[in-house]
Amino acid sequence: MITPANPSRQWRGVIEEYRDLLDLPPDTAAVTLREGGTPLVHSHWLSGLSGAEVWLKVEGDNPTCSFKDRGMTTAISLAVHEGAKAVVCASTGNTSASMAAYAARAGLTPLVLVPEGKIAAGKMAQAILHGAQIIMVRGNFDHCLTMAKELSWSYPVALVNSVNPARLEGQKTAAFEIVDFLGDAPDYHLLPVGNAGNIAAYWLGYTQYADLGRATKRPVMRGFQAAGAAPLVTGEPFPDPETKATAIRIGNPASWKLAEAARDESGGRFAAVTDEQILSAQRDLASRDGVFVEPASAAGIAGILQELAQGESYAGRRVVITVTGHGLKDTATALEAFGELVDVVVDADVEAAARAAGLA
Ligand X SMILES: *Cc1c(COP(=O)(O)O)cnc(C)c1O
Residue ranges in contact with ligand X by CB under 6 A: 66, 68, 94, 162, 192-198, 247-248, 294, 296-297, 324-325
Least distance (Å) between residue 345 CB and ligand X: 35
Which C-beta is closer to ligand X: that of 94 or that of 173? 94
Nearest to ligand X of 176, 270 (CB atom): 270
For ligand X, the closer of residues 74 and 198 by Cβ is 198
Q: Closest separation between CB of residue 161 and ligand X, Å?
A: 9
For residue 237, the minimal CB distance to ligand X (Å) is: 15
Whose Cβ is closer to ligand X: residue 53's or residue 164's?
164
- Closest approach, Cβ 273 to ligand X, in A, equals 13
Instruction: Rank residues 53 and 224 by Cβ distance to ligand X and give the closer one.
Output: 224
Nearer to ligand X, 60 or 186 (CB): 60
Min dist CB 98 to ligand X, Å, is 8
**In the complex, minimum distance from the CB of residue 57 to ligand X, in angstroms, rounded to a whole number:** 12
Q: Which residue is closest to ligand X by CB?
A: 325
Residue number, 53 or 69, with CB nearest to ligand X? 69
- Count CA atoms within 13 Å of residue 29 on its CB side: 7
Secondary structure (H, E, C), the chain: CCCCCCHHHCCCCHHHHHHHHCCCCCCCCCCCCCCCCCCEEECHHHHHHHCCEEEEEEHHHCCCCECHHHHHHHHHHHHHHCCCCEEEEECCCHHHHHHHHHHHHHCCEEEEEEECCCCCHHHHHHHHHCCCEEEEECCCHHHHHHHHHHHHHHCCCEECCCCCHHHHHHHCHHHHHHHHHHCCCCCEEEEECCCCHHHHHHHHHHHHHHHCCCCCCCCEEEEEEEHHHCHHHHCCCCCCCCCCCHHHCCCCCCCHHHHHHHHHHHCCEEEEECHHHHHHHHHHHHHHHCCCECHHHHHHHHHHHHHHHCCCCCCCCEEEEEECEEHHHHHHHHHCCCCCCCCCCCCCCHHHHHHHCCCC
Least CB distance from residue 309 to ligand X, whole Å?
A: 23
* Shortest distance (Å) from residue 179 CB to ligand X: 20
53 versus 140: smaller Cβ distance to ligand X: 140
Q: Is 128:64 a contact under the CB 8 Å cutoff?
A: no
